[in-house]
Amino acid sequence: MQKEKVTPFCPLFHHALEILGRRWTAVVIRAIMGGNYRFSDIRQAIPGLSDRLLSQRLKELETEGIVNRVVRTGHPITVEYTLTGKGEALATIVKEVSHWAEDWLG
């Protein structure tokens, strides 16, 4: 069987790892995958994550098209975050990393 040839540097791969490798980003995605959609739910699900950093990561993920931010009007007004199609595709990678961690690091 012939090995797949991999180039040493790929700008798209590099960008993907820059996104996923930012501190707390994969954990935020995992929290949203787990059904924590409101800011306070995400923050509560991730010990040690500050409000400022969570807000920054959510904005970055929204800019990248990975997360949707939905404002629900009513009393009180709530903001929910969900994964986009692009985010769901990335979630499969986060799941695989989780399985790897359980198998090899646990």
Dihedral angle sign, alpha carbons of residues 34, 35, 36, 37 = positive
Is pLDDT above 90 for 2? no
Q: What is the pLDDT of residue 66?
A: 98
**Residue 105 to residue 70: CA distance in whole angstroms:** 36
Residue 38: other Cβ atoms inside 10 A: 13
Sorting pLDDT into bands at 50, 70 and 90, what band is 105? Answer: very high
Q: What is the pLDDT of residue 85?
A: 96
Sorting pLDDT into bands at 50, 70 and 90, what band is 80? Answer: very high
Sorting pLDDT into bands at 50, 70 and 90, what band is 7? Answer: confident
The arrangement of secondary structure in 13-104, i.e. its CATH architecture, is Orthogonal Bundle (1.10)
Q: What is the pLDDT of residue 24?
A: 97
Query: Where in the chain are the domains?
Result: 13-104
pLDDT digits (tens, 9 = 90+) for 13-70: 999 999 999 999 999 999 999 998 999 999 999 999 999 999 999 999 999 999 999 9
